[in-house]
Amino acid sequence: MLVFAQFGAGRIGAIHAANLAASGAARLAHVVDVHEAAAATLAARHGALASDAVTALRDPLVDAVIIASSTDTHADLVIAAAKAGKAIFCEKPIDLSLARVDQALAVVQAAGVPMLVGFNRRFDPNFAELHRRIAAGAIGAVEQVVITSRDPGPPPLDYIRVSGGMFRDMTIHDFDMARLMLGEEPIEVFATGSALVDPAIAAAGDIDSAMVLLRTASGRMAHINNSRRAAYGYDQRVEVHGSLGRLTAGNRVATTVEQADAAAVATDKPLPFFLERYADAYRIELAAFIDAVRAGTPMPVGAKDGRQALVLAEAALQSLRDNRPVRVA
């Protein structure tokens, strides 16, 4: 049994704690949250203690931490957990500042602790299978990737204001997916965006609609389209073109029911949002973390992946501001 301390008792924290309990391979010992009531409730549900960070990290029984608190606390907690020698499962992004990410990762590296960054979509069975087929050569050499990633509705303006902007908050997942599917690092980013959904988002200094192009050294290309609104649900699709064919992974639906009537032939809308669409992904992700910690094998999504997606997000932001393609190291 791997023993966990978890930081963050919010929506995503509740998911991780439940998956941890159901995994049969781990036990939650501490829950830490600035909202003490939330921590207490979640801790009680899983037979854990509502603790503070220092207590949780000093507990020698704790093997690993889940960092699912607000983004601005991630880097500090990563550093503290690394210094305490704990294996780290950290929700994305590690931090909104690349400098701060590098600081944290240096500590992680020095401590030699394993770290997984929470790009949950890599564990979505659909995207994972698509990637498996690429790796198996099903479509030959990858040439182009098209990623559709659209939220059902925008988050509150208060969240948008501290989110680091759409590219760091939302597109960051797609940058990770693009890297994974391209099989080669993007070296250049061009991004364009507008506030088409809500002018208040523009007033808050952000965009809500974006299109991005990525290019690799060998000439592979990726396109990402994003919107903070999709009337029909959460739209999450990946399409990869290779020399021998095309692979697509589409949305999941609640049921296979089809209704044909005088109006149309209608099927289910995509699952509403990430909690539903990525329920399996969250479960598999945590299990993969537990397995890798126990087996001492490399993390399926490592610290470098967390950093590189942020590098692309920052380049996209720069591209948007300057209206030019931006090179990335």
Binding residues (CB under 8 A) for a second copy: these are 22, 125-126, 129-130, 133, 138-139, 141, 143-144, 146, 148, 150, 188, 190, 192, 194-197, 209-211, 213, 215, 218-221, 223, 225, 227, 229-233, 235, 241, 243-252, 254-270, 323-325
CB of 232 to a second copy, least distance (A): 4
CB of 286 to a second copy, least distance (A): 16
CB of 132 to a second copy, least distance (A): 9
CB of 124 to a second copy, least distance (A): 9
Cβ distance to a second copy smaller for residue 36 or 129: 129
Cβ distance to a second copy smaller for residue 133 or 294: 133
For residue 118, the cross-strand partners are: 91
The secondary structure of 171-191, three-state, reads: HHHHHHHHHHHHCCCEEEEEE
Cβ distance to a second copy smaller for residue 101 or 221: 221
Structure tokens at 254: 């609640």
CB of 214 to a second copy, least distance (A): 9
Query: How far is Cα 46 from Cα 56, in angstroms, rounded to an integer?
Result: 16
Q: Is the preceding omega at residue 270 within 30 degrees of 0, hence cis?
A: no
CB of 116 to a second copy, least distance (A): 23
Cβ distance to a second copy smaller for residue 7 or 282: 282
Cβ distance to a second copy smaller for residue 164 or 270: 270
Tokens 């500090």 belong to residue = 76
Q: Are 236 and 270 in contact (CB under 8 A)?
A: yes
Cβ distance to a second copy smaller for residue 115 or 221: 221
Q: Radius of gyration (Cα) for the chain, nearest Å?
A: 20
Q: For strands 64-67 and 87-91, give the pairing.
A: parallel
Cβ distance to a second copy smaller for residue 99 or 231: 231
CB of 33 to a second copy, least distance (A): 22
Structure tokens at 242: 């290779």
Query: How far is Cα 138 from Cα 259, in angstroms, rounded to an integer?
Result: 34
CB of 320 to a second copy, least distance (A): 11
CB of 45 to a second copy, least distance (A): 9
Q: Are 149 and 226 in contact (CB under 8 A)?
A: yes
Phi/psi-derived region of residue 270, left when phi > 0, alpha when psi is between -120 and 50, beta in every other case: beta
Cβ distance to a second copy smaller for residue 27 or 252: 252
SS3 324: coil
Measured from the Cβ of residue 275, the count of other Cβ atoms closer than 10 Å reads 14
Measured from the Cβ of residue 204, the count of other Cβ atoms closer than 10 Å reads 18
Q: Taking the chain, what is the end-to-end CA distance rounded to the nearest angstrom?
A: 41
Cβ distance to a second copy smaller for residue 5 or 31: 31
Q: For strands 235-242 and 2-7, give the pairing.
A: unpaired
SS3 3: strand
Determine the residue type at 267.
Answer: T
